[in-house]
Structure 1
Amino acid sequence: MRLTGRVVTPAGISGYVDVAGGLLTEIGGADPGDGPWILPGFVDIHTHGGGGHTFTTGDVAAARAAAGFHLRHGTTTLLASLVSSPFSLMSSATVAFAPLVAEGVLAGVHYEGPYLSQIRCGAQNPAFLRDPSIEELTQLIALGEGAVRMVTIAPERPGALEAIDLLVSHGVVAALGHTDATYDQTITAIDAGATVGTHVFNGMRPPHHREPGPVFALLSAPTVICELVADGIHLHDGTLAFAATVTGADRAALITDAMAAAGMPDGEYELGGQSVVVADRVARLTRDGSIAGSTLTMDAALRQAVHAGVPMVAAAQMAATTPARAIGLADTLGALVEGLRADLVLLDDTLRVDRVMRAGTWLPDE
């Protein structure tokens, strides 16, 4: 099967892509200057749900529905992100989601907490926050049988460095976020093996010219990929463009941080046992008004990045290639490169999703 249009590859824009046997077999031709945009399927490494469904309770049917919602918006690979929870829920959700990972519905499980800062907890439930536990993590990794893909930790908490060492030794990505760490504490955690910054700027000690904190440490570290919530709410477009310029597209990953309300009407929702009110796309905790995730989808994140001045080739890299590399999947997917899995998103001139292909098969029209 040959598809023609503006094919966005890591090297630039080509004119056609061939698909056979679920793989990309040939890419070539000059930039046609028109036709649909053809991008790699988006890779979202941080999402809590969407379409009225959540990952945070460990419900298999809800997880499958949330993944299906995001697939229709071009996300062909995603992690199911939990929020800070009791160990019992973390355990049951991990066991429940492991078959979905084996099936390919999910690319893995991400624990955003509970090993986070009280003062920078944001919408995380403070009742469940605690110091990193080697015992808990060891059990969860074993229960997941390869499903546990990433864990977000505040590096200043006691036991954080030991937890990072454990995660890295088991092939699990250690991410830093929801932290009040100093610059030096963040650098120490990076040196210990942390390779992702969780929604950089958000849920972190703000930078100051005499105490740059975690933001400057993460943006400047050559081994760290920085998550960015490109919804125009979490980050001003100027901040988004600045961060992408500092990191380059090979160290910036667009994420949604979406909750169940993504794609749904304004109203009342729930996140991690806490009430959330959504009004005009913005999700906030009822108790204190903290931003509670987002209602974003990855196609909208791409549009926001382009609107902020990120070139299309770089934006596609930030929406697919870099996040795939962040979670160790770059050899399989995340770019329009011959030999990789045929995950494609066709966008119209307004960058809205027209069609989605996953592993060489078109998503049925609804």
Structure 2
Amino acid sequence: MEQTRQEISHAIAQKLTEPAAPTAICNARRIDAHGIQEHTWVILENNVITATGTSDDEFEAAARAAQITPERTIDANGAIMVPGYVDIHAHGAWGSAFDDGPEGIEIARAGHMWHGTTRQVLSLITNPIDVMCENLHNVRAAMQVRPDVLGAHLEGPFLALSRKGAHDPQCLKDPTPDLVSTLLDAADGCMRQITIAPELEHGMSAIRTFAQAGVHPAVGHCDADYDTARRAFDAGATLMTHMFNAMNGIHHRKPGPIPAAVEDPRVTIELINDGFHVQNPVVELSFGFAPHRTAFVTDAMAATDCPDGHYLLGALDVNVEHGHARLVSNGAIAGSTLVLERAVQRAVLELGFEAPAAVEAATLTPAKAFGFDQPNPVTKAPLGLIAPRYAADVLLLDPNDWSVQHVWCAGRQMR
């Protein structure tokens, strides 16, 4: 199986460097943040969606105009068509982590691509500063050749010791100006997000500096109260890292950071919808807290889509049992084995969410968090919708179980 996955990883990496062939997809049920449309077709050309509609005559005319041959025309046979999923917080898959160098990035990205995540911000775990700098260099290099890599998310080292979760306590730091500059220099523009505990001595100043540099600070792994979180958002933080996890919960006399994020329209809220990090009643309740601002994330570690067993998270030993990852040392939750395919399936089929809202949480909302829902220097075409001028990131799903059957990223068929 490992050999097969390695071959798939290499094939996906190769396809991403090849020109995208014009493709037509017809007879699909489109679902995105704008709603549901039956009997839909799309034309994919030059990495973008150039046309879409419902009329058979218009489809034939559009396919002819794009000079699309019959072998490049796919009849979806009523499958669900959604935009490619966008994960802004994940660490790995298929036995590899994004901290594991170029090969680790290739394998882990393939694992998520196979399950429909066409674009991803690569999360890097807390490590010694020099190691984190090298890992940032690797993400930057991957961005030069892979359109599916959106940049890096540093989950650490500026976290509260009391809320460290599965992060190495020996590597945690206060975000002093010299360390902030070191990481920004190493990133060379590839850093999209950094999780910071704002109550740290230099927390607020670091949030301001990162925000001014174009990075999106996230409040998380923190002991912050409500007022501190509000100040952090006013200082430039625009995200909340995996709401409920590694932070103070909601208390009627000590509100904590969650209400501060919910009430602030500038903030995108991450939510791990696996029923384990956040159990179903709270997922259902919290999804209504901030409509159109709650993004499904996976926090997936290397064991994702792998058998139970022993794995590493950074330098820390992890045991995975029944798909749940915990540190060997103290039993702390050590990320997840979730993929966005499963998060959307759970939302629609198990929790009863409206389909467009569930899809939005895995597509348009995470794209909006970094301005990728608009034309931008990183993705060029916007992400998150099935519409003309948007990126040609398209999934076809089984209408019965919402499993991913076919994947296009930037117009290239990955699966």
Q: TM-score range by the shorter chain?
A: over 0.9
The equivalences for 1:159-178 within 5 A come to 159-178=202-221
SS of aligned partner of 1:246: coil
Q: How many residues align?
A: 359
Percent sequence identity over matched residues?
37
Matched residue type, 1:335: L
Of 301, 305, 308, which aligns to 1:266? 308
Of 103, 120, 134, which aligns to 1:61? 103
Provide the residue aligned with 1:3 in structure 2: 26
1:20 & 1:106 partners in 2: Cα distance? 21
| 1:35 partnered with 2:94 | no
In the TM superposition, residue 105 of structure 1 has moved relative to its aligned partner by 4.1
Of 333, 336, 346, which aligns to 2:396? 346
Unmatched runs of 5 consecutive residues or more in structure 2: 1-23, 56-76, 375-381
2:297 & 2:408 partners in 1: Cα distance? 20
Unmatched runs of 5 consecutive residues or more in structure 1: none
Q: TM-score, normalised by structure 1?
A: 0.95
| 1:357 partnered with 2:403 | no
Of 228, 235, 254, which aligns to 2:278? 235
1:246 & 1:291 partners in 2: Cα distance? 25
Provide the residue aligned with 1:125 in structure 2: 168
Bigger CA radius of gyration: 2
The equivalences for 1:169-318 within 5 A come to 169-248=212-291, 250-306=292-348, 307-318=350-361
SS of aligned partner of 1:107: strand
SS of aligned partner of 2:358: helix
Of 7, 24, 32, which aligns to 2:49? 24
Cα pair 1:207 1:213 within 8 Å, conserved: yes
1:242 & 1:305 partners in 2: Cα distance? 12
In the TM superposition, residue 239 of structure 1 has moved relative to its aligned partner by 1.1
| 1:336 partnered with 2:378 | no
What's the CA shift string for 1:68-127, capped at 9, x where partnerless? 110010001001111111111111111122110122241101100110111111111111
2:144 & 2:192 partners in 1: Cα distance? 13
Q: TM-score, normalised by structure 2?
A: 0.84
Matched residue type, 1:345: L
1:163 & 1:335 partners in 2: Cα distance? 34
| 1:13 partnered with 2:36 | yes
Matched residue type, 1:352: S
Matched residue type, 2:238: T
1:51 & 1:265 partners in 2: Cα distance? 10
1:9 & 1:258 partners in 2: Cα distance? 24
SS of aligned partner of 2:363: helix
SS of aligned partner of 2:163: coil
Cα pair 1:347 1:355 within 8 Å, conserved: yes
SS of aligned partner of 1:294: coil
1:120 & 1:243 partners in 2: Cα distance? 21
Cα pair 1:10 1:336 within 8 Å, conserved: no
In the TM superposition, residue 3 of structure 1 has moved relative to its aligned partner by 2.6
In the TM superposition, residue 224 of structure 1 has moved relative to its aligned partner by 0.6
Given the superposition, is the C-alpha separation of residues 304 and 295 from structure 1 closer, same or farther in structure 2, using an over 3 Å criterion? same
What's the CA shift string for 1:184-205, capped at 9, x where partnerless? 0000001111111000000111
